[in-house]
């Protein structure tokens, strides 16, 4: 039985960037999400989505978009690809004292945008934390994960 080699490692276990030169350009989309959990008291204090640093939602969306575009600068073996669309949504839930952040990214490239979607969510969540930490340092960022992807050789993935 042949051992499967991790795509970013050569046979001698040295790092490599994956050769995508022979792959076809296809339309690709990936969506990731994450949750920010607050205490009831701190959620109530930021319920107007403002902090001493400014308006939380729009600043976090902008930060997530910038993070998406800079993914290849942050993650060493990611390809620098053309980002054609980024859509970040932040939904608040007062029953669970949470904000759910989703980031969808589209491209027509030779490789996918999963890492860009995950980076966008992570940066948006970290920005929310940064803007709200003066209210409560017990804020939790949870469950950052890929929830779906389309396109490319591996096709469609939807988280179960």
| 130 carries an active-site annotation | yes
Q: What's the rounded Cα separation, in Å, for the pair 98 and 141?
A: 10
Assigned token pair, 65: 């978009």
φ, ψ of residue 27 in degrees (nearest 5):
-70, 130
Catalytic residue among 12, 19, 87, 130: 130
Question: Contact 136/149 with Cβ under 8 angstroms?
Answer: no
Assigned token pair, 13: 């276990």
Burial (CB < 10 A; 0-12, 13-18, 19+), residue 117, is buried
Active-site positions read 130
């Amino acid at each position: 039985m042949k051992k499967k080699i991790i795509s970013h490692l050569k046979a001698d276990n040295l790092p490599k960037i994956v050769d995508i030169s022979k792959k076809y350009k296809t339309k690709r989309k990936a969506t990731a999400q994450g949750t920010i959990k607050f205490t009831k008291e701190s959620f109530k204090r930021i319920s107007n989505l403002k902090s001493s640093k400014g308006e939380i939602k729009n600043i976090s969306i902008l930060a997530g978009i910038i993070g998406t575009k800079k993914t290849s600068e942050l993650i060493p073996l990611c390809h620098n690809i053309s980002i054609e669309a980024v859509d970040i949504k932040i939904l608040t839930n007062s029953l669970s004292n949470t904000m759910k952040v989703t980031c969808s990214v589209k491209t027509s490239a030779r490789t996918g945008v999963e890492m860009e979607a995950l980076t966008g969510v992570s940066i948006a969540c970290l920005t929310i934390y940064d803007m709200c930490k003066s209210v409560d340092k017990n804020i939790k960022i949870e469950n950052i994960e890929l929830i779906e992807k389309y396109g490319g050789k591996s096709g469609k993935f939807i988280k179960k």
